[in-house]
Amino acid sequence: MGELNNPLRLRRPLDHGARVIIAHCASLGENVDIDRGSNGPRTDAFGLFARLMDEPQYEGRLFGDISAVTQVNRIGRPLETLLARSDWHRRLLNGSDYPLPGVMPLFSVRRFVEQSYLTSSQASVVSEIRRYNPLLFDFVLKRSLVKNGRRFAPMVFESRRMFDRKQITTTVIHRGPDQERSGHH
């Protein structure tokens, strides 16, 4: 089962037009870089996710879910990159990973302050909210995070666009030189 969660294995369904949401933006673990062969080097899964996100042919079909990216074991490069990559924000979707926001040891508001994602006063408010409503805590925490002046765009929290048939855009896959590549419909 270990290699079944390799983000690069999503190329086939993506190439056939499937829309894919990668849970937690593949922000934990390592996988074989199968782009470099079946015995390719192991690399972090988030790097493989980033590679797919940067491939233009997957625009409009590949998305990332930001649930769990604020857990203590994910603070660092993945979260900082997700905040900084505003070009990805229209393809990121908020999720809560409920009930995990209510599990105290999985989140450290103090670490967010120590690593300059939150101010002390923001941390106080977020911590107080958590005592009463873990889902609201998760939402307010993610909306409050700032690193190097970057934060999640409001559209990350407006997930209806992903599920509203009227707003869905698709891209026709380029199949050959005689077929026209289309844009958004």
At residue 39, the pLDDT reads 92
Contact of 27 with 78, CB cutoff 8 Å: yes
pLDDT one-digit tens code per residue, 115-171:
999 999 999 999 999 999 999 999 999 999 999 999 999 999 998 888 776 655 443
Domain ranges of the chain: 95-164
CA distance 34 to 6: 9
Question: Tokens standing for 11?
Answer: 């190329």
Q: Are 66 and 152 in contact (CB under 8 A)?
A: yes
Considering the entire predicted model, what is its pTM? 0.85
Q: What is the pLDDT of residues 15-52, one digit of tens each?
A: 999 999 999 999 999 999 999 999 999 999 999 999 99
Q: Are 124 and 161 in contact (CB under 8 A)?
A: no
CA atoms within 13 A on the CB side of 185: 8
Nearest to 94 by CA among 145, 170, 147, 44: 145
